Structure 1
């Protein structure tokens, strides 16, 4: 008879996520994962499979959390304000210990997506989720009058999605708030 699990799988995934998010996939060792989760190697692999499977499960947990957060921002309140809040959070989150490692999806777009089809599919899906949510917010803004641009909502959303990783990289590269706010101002001018 198999022994029942004596740990919270969601908690373990979030601990593993923290390690992968901070160190990246390649630099994370099994020892790092064992130390972070408090599980033995056999328990960890028994529950989640190998390092790659654990990474994908942890990355999916991250992605689910961020999609929920994004929807909470972009689907409520005045449309333009919601869009601006979403992008300003990139700057403010950089000063928070939880998000000081940047966006895990952007990190993986660079580290793993070029050579790992499963990660690439997830990163592309993330960009599509962002584009779709922004398009809906822009369409709502056109209806409520807060987005004045005559450009199609889809075109504006695509442009904003292209800017999203650029802003993430600027934040991680240590640009000062004045420069970041200038970039945001230019970005938001596409809504006028």
Structure 2
């Protein structure tokens, strides 16, 4: 008879996600994961499989959480303001310059694993497609409510924002100058006016 699980699976997965997010897949050891999750090796393997399976589960949890967050932000208020809030939050979430930013886990993995891992590449492609769809909806809504003055096709404007997203994430992670990032973001957002 199998012993009942004695830990919170969701919390253990969150701890694994934080570890992978901070260190990346390659630099995260099983010892790192066991320590962060507070599990024995047998419990980790029984609940999640190996390191790769745990990583994919943690990455999917991250992606779902961030997708919901983006959807919520973009659905609030005038569309132009919501899009601006989404991008400003990236800079604000980077902190005050103390600890280095972890950036976006999807962008981190687009660089680390996607070039050689088709499963990760597929997930990231879906992330970008989802972002494009959400931006397209918000821009179309903004064109209707008058908060976005640019009458170019909403999907084309959305693609520009999707293209800018990884660059902003990388600059924030590299501890780019916040004032300069905000000024550049102003220029990007002016394409919506």
TM-score normalised according to structure 1 size? 0.96
* CA deviation vs aligned residue, 1:150-177 (integer Å, no higher than 9, x gap): 2100000001000000011111122212
Whole-angstrom CA distance in 2 between matches of 1:135 and 1:99: 32
Whole-angstrom CA distance in 2 between matches of 1:181 and 1:13: 34
Query: Which range is displaced more, 2-11 or 150-159?
Result: 2-11
Whole-angstrom CA distance in 1 between matches of 2:25 and 2:80: 36
Question: Once the 2 structures are TM-superposed, how far is the Cα of residue 99 of structure 1 from its aligned partner?
Answer: 8.7
Would you say the 8 A contact 2:100–2:173 is kept in 1? no
Q: For structure 2, list consecutive stretches of 5 or more residues without a partner in the other structure.
A: none
Partner of 2:191, secondary structure, is: helix
Runs of 4+, deviation exceeding 4 Å: 96-99
Whole-angstrom CA distance in 2 between matches of 1:177 and 1:105: 22
Whole-angstrom CA distance in 1 between matches of 2:129 and 2:37: 32
Partner of 2:92, secondary structure, is: helix
Would you say the 8 A contact 2:139–2:148 is kept in 1? yes
Question: Once the 2 structures are TM-superposed, how far is the Cα of residue 190 of structure 1 from its aligned partner?
Answer: 1.2
Q: How does 1:151-162 map to 2 (within 5 A)?
A: 151-162=152-163
Q: Size of the alignment, in residue pairs? A: 192
Partner of 2:129 in structure 1? 128
Partner of 1:183 in structure 2? 184
Query: Which range is displaced more, 11-20 or 96-105?
Result: 96-105
Question: Once the 2 structures are TM-superposed, how far is the Cα of residue 100 of structure 1 from its aligned partner?
Answer: 2.3
Q: Residues 110 and 20 from structure 1, CA distance in 2 versus in 1: closer, same or farther, beyond 3 angstroms?
A: same
